[in-house]
Amino acid sequence: MQRPELPLPQLHAFVVLAEELHFGRAAARLGIAQPPLSQQIRRLEEKVGHPLFHRDPGRVTLTPAGRELLPAAQRALAELAEGLAAARDAGSGEAGRLRIGFAASLALTVLPGLLRAYRERFPHVRLDIREMTSSPQLTALREGGIDIGLLREPPDDEPEFGFRVVLREPFVAVLSSGHPLAAQRTVPLARLADAPFVLLPRSVGPQLHDRIVGLCEQAGFTPRVVQRAVEWQTLCALVQAGLGVTLAPASIRRIRLDGVVHRPITPGDARTRVAVAWRRADRNPLVANLLSSLDDWLPGDRPGQG
């Protein structure tokens, strides 16, 4: 047996009348005259197949059918109101799920402040934070796996993406405490020409890898790489073990390991860029709201800024 559909305006009229138990007050609350209210109730009663109200002189009361319908009607209207509010929030970027990829080293610098600024403005958005290196972030952005990337050394040849630089920080030499140059306050980069290097694989961050190699080449040598590792924490551990030296963003100083020192390099004007990345064609309001949050956060003090 097919169940009759109950139009929402009729349910609304029914709930208001059930709460007021007075046609005049219910009509005023609904902003309509009494005859249209009576018509709405009669149509609903026709669909139910039973009277919903006893209409006695000077008194309106619910029938057993009306008492049974009332809680279900109230739930339906409440759920609709909640759904409409959720739809409005999602459409305006006030709610929903935002997927953010980030390079691990940025958890030491820009990530906490950026997320804090965003959450202060949009507390009802669910954040899905995914640690990944720069090259996989671009792949995930392209394929729709993440909505925002936070990466180092944004490429210049990716027109489908937008990039906004949020931090520029200097490089430091990472040395074991027993290295001959560890006692110096600054390290001339050319003095590392004969040292073995540990570096990131080019595949996980080609722009940053090439930038480090390029700095060495500007200093007159090509680094002799003896070991590679994906994470900066691992690279610092390899330095600690005496396998080699490396160049790293200055924020790496927050990874504190016994037997590892960090020294500014000369020349010291080289900077590594950190950028927020997004798909230019993306019309997701969550993305637009995060980008607008950058203006709240960028004027503040940023760790590692040189």
251 and 211 inside one domain: yes
Contacts of 30 (CB under 8 A, 6+ apart): 12, 13, 16, 37
User: Is the pTM for the entire model greater than 0.75?
Assistant: no
| Number of structural domains found in the chain | 3
- Tell me: the pLDDT tens digits for 112-131? 888 888 888 888 888 999 99
The answer on pLDDT for 299 being more than 80 is no
- Tell me: the pLDDT tens digits for 53-80? 998 887 889 999 989 899 988 888 888 8
* Cβ 96 vs Cβ 87: under 8 Å: no
147 and 279 inside one domain: yes
120 and 239 inside one domain: no
Structural domain for 282, as ranges? 96-165+273-297
153 and 207 inside one domain: no
DSSP letter (8 states) at residue 5 = P
Identify whether 205 is part of a domain: yes
The residue-averaged pLDDT of 273-295 equals: 89
What distance in Å separates the CA atoms of residue 213 and residue 177, rounded to the nearest whole number? 23
The residue-averaged pLDDT of 129-152 equals: 92
Determine the residue type at 163. F
3-class secondary structure, 237: helix
Q: What whole-number percentage of the chain has pLDDT above 70?
A: 90
The answer on pLDDT for 50 being more than 70 is yes
DSSP letter (8 states) at residue 289 = H
Least confident of 3-7, 239-243, 275-279: 3-7
Q: Are strands 224-228 and 196-199 parallel, antiparallel or unpaired?
A: parallel
3-class secondary structure, 248: strand
Identify whether 303 is part of a domain: no
DSSP letter (8 states) at residue 158 = -
Domain boundary among 50, 75, 92: 92
Identify whether 305 is part of a domain: no
Identify whether 2 is part of a domain: no
Q: What is the pLDDT of residue 157?
A: 83
Q: What is the CATH number of the domain that holds 145?
A: 3.40.190.10
- Tell me: the pLDDT tens digits for 221-262? 999 999 999 988 999 999 999 999 999 999 888 888 999 999
Contacts of 215 (CB under 8 A, 6+ apart): 171, 189, 247, 270
180 and 88 inside one domain: no
pLDDT band with cut points at 50, 70 and 90 for residue 85: low
